[in-house]
Amino acid sequence: MCGIDSWWRLNVSIFVLKTPWFIVCLTFCMAIPTASHAQAIKPAPPTPIDMKKVELGGTPWNSQWDQIIEKALPPEMLSSQAPRGVRRFCPRFYDMSTADKRIFWAYFFQALAGAEAGLNPNTSVRHGEPEGAMVMRSEGLLQLSYADQKRYGCDFNWQMDRALKANDPAKTILQPKNNLECGVKILVNQTIVQHKPLLIRSGYWSTLQPDGPSYRVFAKQMTNPPAACGLPTKSAIDKSATTKSVQDDANRRQTPK
């Protein structure tokens, strides 16, 4: 038996060594899933407020935050189950590739963060009186609260954060990854689990409650979605709410070729 085993190992070794294509093919095939996944994660276009912050020398949206959002999206948000309200901002959503749908949602949350917190991840706003030992605040890019930890399973830790200053970036609720992933969970709960519209008066964010002043702020940030969305040129940029560079871009889009 030992002789047969040695013969088999020797012949397999010779076969592999004499056929380099085997190794090349194996390496290439193993690399394909990684490459495909990397290509699926792309940055979203800038919102008007992001462009303005760049012009003024402020801290803009971080493209790594797009990756956080895109990776957090469940399959349902990239399928026909996605809320119909997306068509208001992205008419071709249901006909787009999965990669383009991810980019749209990354842009959507960038616009939401622009309307909620001016893209500042350390924003912390106090509301009314403390509820027990916990001070009620809206915090981070998406203006969330510690109560969302129990409601939606968000990665916030009040006991760890309570000794830190309100706008300390070390707070778990202010860390962009935790805040954005929680925001995705909240929107998924509203639109996929509860089957409610994307824009609704009883929604979590006032900026997504239609017809209100907060919603208008959000809508102004949704004027530069990914090109794949096919948003009509006439409504692509709200000139009255953006900077000169954005207005110039709007003029270029509307100039007949």
Give per-residue pLDDT as tens, 68-127.
999 999 999 999 999 999 999 999 999 999 999 999 999 999 999 999 999 999 999 987
SS3 137: strand
- The full length of the chain comes to 257
Entry pTM: 0.75
Tens digits of per-residue pLDDT, 205-219?
A: 999 999 889 999 999
Tokens 């994307």 correspond to 198
Bin 118: left if φ > 0, else alpha if -120 < ψ < 50, else beta.
left
